[in-house]
Amino acid sequence: MIWNLGSINADNFYYLRHLPGPGETLAADRFQQGLGGKGANMSVAAARAAARVVHIGAVGDDGKWAVDRLLEYGVDTQHIARADVATGHANINVDADGENNIVLYAGANHAVTERMIGAALAEATPGDFLLMQNETNGQAYAAQTARTLGLRVVYAAAPFSAEAVQEVITHVDLLVLNEVEAAQLQASTGTELSALPVDDIVITLGGDGCKWVSNKAKTEESFPSFPVEVVDTTGAGDTFTGYLVAGLDRGFEMVKALDLALRAGALMVGRHGTADVIPDLKDVQDHDFS
């Protein structure tokens, strides 16, 4: 089982000819709202990859629709609390080439308490996964508790904060980050990735695929991406991570789990949206990338 301490957002998409510069005002060509947040995206991705996922998080009084949507997509929502602040949301600008920039409001995502986390993880079984990102509070407590209980801890280091990574890194089994975040982590710690106290590190490289650094096995291996037409990169990294953890939870070796995750991420960049359009396992398995 996967226990995901993660954010839940309303994603507001604004489709533009180009991304706005400083002081620039642009009229959007189109607007769309959907379920998002890195946590929600990863929960949906893992559930669609045939894993059993329990989401740990919070929404405001305005967030019942988001909880209902997660439940509809196969995510266990019994550990999503109601907070006295607005549900988190993201304003996402997407240009004609599929690139984006994002403004986040944390809202209820920062109202998660240690009591909520402890109550959820008390139901976990040794060997389960704890998945986290840097869009909620309580990460250090969750990581330490999970490690004590015998869970395997996965940390997706986004949005990147060197301090947040260093608070949890001694409890992390698998660290997932993109190329920019990897460089930031090395710069902030002065330590090569191969010297970090983490068994496995996966660096996503966008259109160049990903790299796996196994500090446990003392090996590095690169994997190419699958050729696709990019429509929107939003949520592709979250889809990759959700599928990766789901594959590992199903007992896949890392290489097989990475192949599955790369396929899912490749399908995702061909779609507009986030959690609502994450591909399911049949889509991923049936798609011919040749």
Q: Which residues are catalytic?
A: 238
Tokens 């190419």, residue? Answer: 224
| Beta bridge partners of residue 211, listed in sequence order | 203, 222
Tokens 């990759």, residue? Answer: 240
Q: SS3 for 272?
A: coil
Nearest to 45 by CA among 122, 154, 195, 152: 154
Q: Are residues 120 and 8 in contact, defined by beta-carbon separation less than 8 angstroms?
A: no
DSSP string, 157-169: --S--HHHHHHHG
Q: SS3 for 111?
A: coil
DSSP string, 38-90: HHHHHHHHHHHTT--EEEEEEE-GGGHHHHHHHHHTT-EEEEEEE-SSPPEEE
Tell me the C-alpha distance between 40 and 80, whole Å.
11
**Residue 274 DSSP one-character state:** S
Q: What does the chain come to in residues?
A: 290
Instruction: Give the full edge-to-edge strand order of the sheet including 76-82.
Output: 76-82, 53-59, 2-5, 129-133, 152-156, 174-178, 200-204, 210-214, 219-223
Interior/surface letters 193-206, b for 16+ CB within 10 angstroms, e for the rest: beebebebbbbbeb
Q: Are residues 146 and 140 in contact, defined by beta-carbon separation less than 8 angstroms?
A: no
